[in-house]
Every structure is written in structure tokens, then in C-alpha cells.
Structure 1
Amino acid sequence: MEDGKMRRKANLTGLLFSAPFILGLLVFTLYPTGASLVYSFSDFNLFKPLAWVGLDNYKWIFQEKEVSKSILNTLYMVLLATPVSLIAGLLTAQLLNLKVKGQSIFRTFFYIPSIVPVIASSLVWMWVLNPKSGLINSLLDLAGLRGPNWLLDAAWTKPSLILMTAWGSGGVMIIFLAALQDVPRSLYESADIDGAGSVRKFFSITLPSISPIILFQLVMSLIVYFQYFAQAFMLASLTNSGADQTMAGPEKSLLFYAILLYREAFVDFRMGHASAMAWVLFIITALVTWLVFRSSKRWVTYGGD
């Protein structure tokens, strides 16, 4: 009898401690997820009762030209910004893993850009990429080269974002740095005895040893760039005129899928369209992630393999 009371008391105590998490999960995750699924099949704009429309919102996604444009812009970032961020982070980590004087200072300098707030970094890059007085074009002028109209030319807006991505790859770098420090030194020593050079050691020892971390970084980067929003939203807002509410940039070159989703939900208040777009994005991201995991069997090696 006493044991039963103690067990019930322990269970109640456990429920009380876990109640904040359970409540938060129900209110801020499960309910919004379920509601968005219902909204995706409905005409709902916050100002009138919900009306069931079936698959109309999903049909709209495949018929709307702006959606097609936003998908192409997003795929551009996924296919180009993902490898750029991974390569920049890995090469920077490789350099910062060298035993040099002032190593910790260099690591700090390279990591700082990744923790700069988006608004601050966007304002800085607005100046850096200014076609008339920006730092990059000024340096190109000194070299006798004519710089592009970075954020004002549709052909250069997305390369500008990729440049910002490489600059802010400190988060990727710090994880790669930790992985590099975990590679057994004995492998490099054996390679030195065999006469292997630096390039051979990098491709034959370093990359296979950190391949699980590369997989992790690849999956996380894909998820981030499928949802790419903050930097493009800030730059589009700063370069657009006050009357322009499209948040799309020159020739809609900054109209990414997440930005269009935001505009449908919180500018035009078409929650049905936005919810359907969110579910399509979730399915695409999940499918691509699954394909990456399937392919990882061919190129990822683990400690026991």
C-alpha cells in the first residue's frame, strides 16, 4: 500500500515537472501543425469564417507563376549556397586547425560573423555591395575592373547572397573544426611514413574520417536553404521602394519560396495558400533529406566500418 502511494506521488511529480514541456508541445507545435493542415484545405484569411475548398490551394501552387519563380530562386540557393557554405566552412576549419601563434584569436575572428544579427549584417553588406561607393566595387576600381550592380541587378542578387553565406559560415566551420580535431593523429603519422602528401591525406584520411559530420552539415544546410528567408527578406525590403510590398527584389530575383509564403500569410492574409505552401515545402524537404540519407551508405564511413 505504501509502495503504491510512493509510486503515484513519483508519477505525479514527474508529470508536474514535464507539464511545461507537454503544454508547450501541444500549444506551440501539435496544434499549429494540425491547424495548418486544416487551413491548407480551406479558404481562411483571419477575417472571415473558415470555408472548405478541398485541393484548390494545392492547385493554386502549381498554377501560380510567382510560386514557380520562387521555387527556381530557392533551388538556386539550395544547389549553390549549400556546397559553398560547406566548402567555405571546411576549408576555414582546416586552416584554423593548424598549429600557429594566435590560433584562438583567428578562430574568434572567423566565428564572429556567424553570430552577427541579420539586420546588422544586412546593413553592412548593403554598404559593402553598394555599386557606387561599396568596398568591393572600390577595390575592383583600383584593379581597373568595373564592378556589377550587386543588389540592383537581377543577375547578381543571388550571387550576393551566396557571398554573404560564405562570410557567415562560422557555425559550419566550428563543427568541422571539432570534427577535424577528433581525427586520430596516428592515421596521419602512418601516411607520412608511406610518403603521402597533404592533398592525398586530405582526401584519403580527413574526408572519410569526418564524413558523418559532412552528412550532418549537408542535411542541416539543405533544410536551411529550402527555408531561406531572413537575409533575402532584409535585402529585398531595404532595396525596394516604400510603395513596393512584393519583397521580391529586382525582377523578382529575391522572391524565395519562404518569402512568398510569408507574403501570402501575413501581407495578403491568405492563410489557406500559405498553409498549403508550407506542407508542400515540408514534403519536398523531407523527400530530399531521405534521398541524402539513402545515398549516404555509399560515401559515409563510421568508426566501426
Structure 2
Amino acid sequence: MRGREAIAGYLFISPWLLGFLVFTLGAMVYSLVISFSRYQPATGVATPIGTANYERLFEDPMVATALGNTLYYAVLAVPLEVCVALGLALLLNGVRRGSGVFRTIFYLPKMTPTVATASVFLLLLNGNQGAINRGLAAIGIDGPQWLVDPAWIKPSIVLMTVWGVSGTMVIFLAALQQVPRDLYEVAELDGAGRIRRFWSITLPMISGAIFFNVLVLTIAAFQIFDQAFLLFHRDQVQASSDASVFYAIYLFQQAFRQFDFGFAAAMAWLLFLIVLVISLIQVRVGNRFVYYESER
């Protein structure tokens, strides 16, 4: 009976296993092979060239520029996304009547296609006639050229990213609803105010969700592509500033515009190692601050 159940189970998950082996694991192994080769997409022939592609990673100045832009974006976007998502979750957690309606409204930006969102933000961030600069002008602030000034290109992409933060918000909301109400009642009887209850009860109790979101958002930040591509690189022409060239953007350009698949594969594996190292550091450091109820 156990043998038949095991066979049935493997048969049910076989489509996923086949897809993983072919399109994920197989693609990773193949990309590792061609990263040590000069790949000709027209003929499908890969000529071994040793570590030349990896040596180019340290010789090409655009690799360092793209990696620096990506790191800058990650440092700017991840904390802001966490704070905004947590703030929205706290607001929704305090709503009693009509909470389902408000949750649906706050989640709608996540359901909006990225192309539509980029089109809207192209209008909002227009330096001359954009709604954001008009709003700033109404209160006496001269708005920047969001999409032209290199100093404001990455903040403009961060704004677009924060617009779709509702997925992170839902995770925080679920964590907040699992915090025992008894803890708040006891703290209130002891005279603890809202800020004290937030720092002493809410944050420790949802530290696992915070750790998870920071880890996932960091990985996503290093793979930033859609927002920057749709705002600055959707045309074949070169962007006006290198400030919008992120690592995944430059990888895409090397692979599908220069057709240098071997170098692009080497870039992909370098990104994999960077993300792996950063994730391991976050896990090592984050576990010291995460509260696990099972360890009480």
C-alpha cells in the first residue's frame, strides 16, 4: 500500500519534476557550460574559451557600474518597502468595519500589469507636466527631472516599486493577526503606551515575517529588471544615462542585443554568487534577532 501511494504521489508531481529538471536545473547547468564558452546562437556551437568570460567581468567597467546601481537601489528600496508595507498592514489591522473592502483596494496595485504601471508612472514622473511635480509646485517645491536627472533616476524606480508593495503588506498583515491579544492587554494594564507596545510586543512577535520579507525583497532587488526596462530601455536606443543600467538590464543587453550569451551566462553566475553570499549573511545575522515561539 505504501509503495502504491508513493508511486501515485510521484506520478502526480511528475509534471512539476519534469519542468524543474528541464527548464530550471537543466537550464542552470547549460548556462554554466556556456559561461566557459563562446556561444554562437546562429549555429548553436559553443567553443570553449576557459575563464575568459569571467575575466571580462573584472575588465568591463559597465559591469561594476551596473552592479553599483543595483546595490544602491537595493539599499534604498528594501528598507522603504518594508516600512511602507508594515505601515499599511498596521492600518489595515486596525480596521474593523469594511476591512475586506480596504484590503482589496490596497492589494489592487499588485494585480496591475507592470506595463500599465510603467505607463502611468511615465506620466506621473514627467519633469515638466507630471502630476507629482505639479503637486510639489503647489506647495512651493521645484520638482526634479525624475526621468532625466541621473541623481533621481533610481529614486523614481523605487517609487514605482513601492507602488506594488501590497504583496509584502499581506504577509505583514497575516503576521500581525497572529499576535496574541492578551499580550497587548497585559501591557496596557502595566501602563505601556502604543509606541512601547509596538517596540516591545509587535516587532518581536512579527520578527519572523520581517526577516522573511527582507530576505525576499533583497533577492528581488538584485534582480530588478521590469521597472527599469519599461521606464528607460524599452526602445532599442541607448538610455541617456548609465544610472538606469542595472545588472539584469546589462545582462539582458549582452544576451539579446549583443548576442554574447557566454558573457551573459558568466554575469548570471556572478549574480547568483553575490545573492547567495548576501542571503547567507542575512540568515546568519537575522536569526539572532528573530523570535521563534517554539524556542520559549
Q: When the two structures are superposed, what TM-score results if normalisation uses the length of structure 2?
A: 0.94
SS in structure 2 at match of 1:155: helix
**1:288 and 2:278 are equivalent in the alignment:** yes
Cα gap change, 1:12/1:97 in structure 2, threshold over 3 Å: closer, same or farther?
closer
Equivalent-residue separation in structure 2 for 1:168 and 1:183 (angstroms): 25
* Post-superposition offset of 1:297: 2.8
More deviation, 186-195/6-15: 6-15
Cα gap change, 1:15/1:191 in structure 2, threshold over 3 Å: closer, same or farther?
closer
More deviation, 198-207/99-108: 99-108
Paired residue for 1:166, among 154, 162, 166? 162
**1:20 and 2:20 are equivalent in the alignment:** no
Equivalent-residue separation in structure 2 for 1:120 and 1:47 (angstroms): 34
1:69-91 Cα offsets, whole Å, 9 max, x none, are 10010001111101010110001
Aligned residue number for residue 75 of structure 2: 79
Summarize the alignment of residues 144-163 of structure 1 with structure 2, pairs less than 5 Å apart. Answer: 144-163=140-159
Structure 1 contact 158–254 (Cα < 8 Å) conserved: yes
Aligned residue number for residue 270 of structure 1: 260
* Post-superposition offset of 1:192: 0.2
The percentage of aligned residue pairs carrying the same residue is 44
**1:297 and 2:287 are equivalent in the alignment:** yes
Aligned-pair RMSD on alpha carbons? 1.7
Structure 1 contact 42–54 (Cα < 8 Å) conserved: yes
Aligned residue number for residue 213 of structure 2: 217
1:253 is matched by which residue type in structure 2? Answer: A
Structure 2 contact 161–227 (Cα < 8 Å) conserved: no
Structure 2: runs of 5+ lacking an equivalent: none
1:23 is matched by which residue type in structure 2? Answer: L
Equivalent-residue separation in structure 2 for 1:208 and 1:296 (angstroms): 12
More deviation, 211-220/295-304: 295-304
Aligned residue number for residue 173 of structure 2: 177
2:139 is matched by which residue type in structure 1? Answer: A
Aligned residue number for residue 92 of structure 1: 88
Cα gap change, 1:12/1:141 in structure 2, threshold over 3 Å: closer, same or farther?
closer
More deviation, 32-41/48-57: 48-57
Equivalent-residue separation in structure 1 for 2:7 and 2:93 (angstroms): 50
* Post-superposition offset of 1:12: 5.5
Cα gap change, 1:44/1:94 in structure 2, threshold over 3 Å: closer, same or farther?
same
2:212 is matched by which residue type in structure 1? Answer: F
* Post-superposition offset of 1:243: 5.5
- Count of equivalent residues: 294
Structure 2 contact 187–197 (Cα < 8 Å) conserved: yes
